[in-house]
Amino acid sequence: MKTNPLRIIFVTAWKDLQILLKDMGFLVVIILLPVIFSILMGTINQRAINDSKKSITFPVALVNQDSGAYGAQIVKILEDIDALELTILAAPEDARQQVLDSKVVAAVVIPPDLSQNVDTYAPSQVLVLVDRTQQEYGRIVTGIMKEVVSPIVLVGELSYGIRALLSEYEPYQQADEASKRGFVAQSLAANMAQVQKMQADPWVKLQAKTSEGKDLVIVPDNIFTMVVPSFCVLFAFFIVGALGGEVLRERQEGTLRRLMAAPLPRWAIILGKMLAFLLIVILQVTLIFGGANIIFDMPLGNSFLGLALLTVAMGLSATGLGMLVASVSKTDRQADTTGTLLGFIMAGLGGCFTFGAVPLYKGGGMMETISRFIPQGQALIGYDILLIQNKGLVEVLPHVGALTLMALIFFLFAVWRFRFEQ
């Protein structure tokens, strides 16, 4: 009687999965250790990033003498800039004294007639007083103020241009003051909407690149989006040695020989073994990523399907590599040792060990190129695309494909090379 290969795959996987779930030592290594390492490294790196952000602040005194909307707008924008440590003062003299005493790097004084001057297209001046002993920092504050004031200048320019054009329009000339203000406000709103559209999608875009032509590295606000996947991928490939050792133990005990006595295809047995360990990898990633999301607010990106496909592809490459190790090893001890050593070496080359903001797979040069030929490197690049860059399924598909191709190569080699009898 011919046996259904699918049934063999699932029966073999279920048998191995029951054995694995009873092995507490294995589960601790696969699930608990990456959690511990992620918490330790993530907390250290997050604290370092937060401290660096806190240290880059500029004390600035601010005096707002304007009672209109534009002065309030400047104050609100400045309060939202993390790099500025604002001290609100009532009088310009107090601000000037703060600068003279070097208590602040600069003082910003908003004139009392700013809003009125903008509306009437009259000259106005926002004063920035700079401490002469901290002129470099003062220039930074001056640059920030130019960016803050530029939208207000734009509103003034547009208002003046609109009024100049409407003054030649006869219905506008004959209208009362309230209607004129309505004409101006309507035209200004339409023009500002167009300006905002152009700012959101400008015709001329600025693209920042490194000297090697690479995109600048994005340092995530939540460092766990980089640390958690690194250790998750590192420990996911620990199943390479475990899978190889388990298969060879069964060969030594004669279990595989008894299976081969039945009319079973060799590839179905190997796939069954791989499926059990694949489910362990999926469980590992689900628990660790879910826990990091709940406890540390680690974002999970915008594509659940992309995350699921990438995780499955990574698990397939890990289990395929485990079967490959089993096919070239002679004993279970040799397979376990070889798999563990291979896992550490490939994890290092793939970029699992993160000691800064720039992981190996983004560092450029020969090492970045090597990492892209390593399963761990492809997995980490994929998680970076989904979790840090917040891109979707389409962008991560090449890396899913690369991992799947590696898994297929490992699997075919294992089917060809593996001996079911000693």
130, 162, 196 - which closes a domain: 196
Q: Is residue 44 part of a domain?
A: yes
Structure tokens at 245: 């050792």
* Residue 129, number of CB atoms within 10 A of its CB: 21
> Collapsing DSSP states into helix, strand and coil, what is residue 130?
strand
Same domain, 406 and 262: yes
**Residue 341 to residue 355: CA distance in whole angstroms:** 21
pTM of the complete model: 0.59
Q: Rounded to 5 degrees, what are φ and ψ at 335?
A: -65, -40
Type and span of the H or E element at 220? none
Q: Each residue of 144-184: pLDDT tens digit?
A: 888 888 777 776 666 666 666 666 666 766 677 666 666 65
**Residue 218 to residue 357: CA distance in whole angstroms:** 8
Task: Please tell me the predicted confidence (pLDDT) of residue 382.
Answer: 94
Same domain, 251 and 393: yes
196, 212, 234 - which closes a domain: 196
With CA atoms as reference, report the closest residue to 248 among 339, 141, 358, 153.
339
**Percent of the chain residues topping a pLDDT of 90:** 19
Q: Is residue 273 part of a domain?
A: yes
Q: Each residue of 347-378: pLDDT tens digit?
A: 888 888 765 556 777 766 787 888 889 999 99
Helices (H), 101-206: 114-120, 135-166, 170-174, 177-200
What secondary structure does DSSP assign to 142-156, as a single string? HHHHHHHHHHHHHHH
Same domain, 291 and 375: yes
The domain total for the chain is 2
Same domain, 164 and 290: no
Res. 143: pLDDT tops 70: yes
Q: Residue 29 is part of which domain span?
A: 5-48+221-417
CATH code for the domain of 152: 3.40.190.10
Which range (134-143, 284-293, 354-363, 399-408) has the least confidence? 354-363
With CA atoms as reference, report the closest residue to 384 among 232, 236, 218, 234.
218
Same domain, 152 and 234: no
Same domain, 65 and 36: no
Same domain, 225 and 311: yes
**Residue 67 to residue 116: CA distance in whole angstroms:** 9
Q: Is residue 207 part of a domain?
A: no
Mean pLDDT for the chain overall: 78
Same domain, 140 and 92: yes
**Percent of the chain residues topping a pLDDT of 70:** 72
Mean pLDDT of 304-328: 91
Q: Is residue 215 part of a domain?
A: no
Residue 5: which pLDDT band, with cuts at 50, 70 and 90?
Answer: low
Q: Is residue 386 part of a domain?
A: yes
Length of the chain, in residues: 422
Same domain, 260 and 179: no
With CA atoms as reference, report the closest residue to 388 among 192, 276, 226.
226
DSSP letter assigned to residue 362: G
Same domain, 111 and 229: no
DSSP letter assigned to residue 125: -
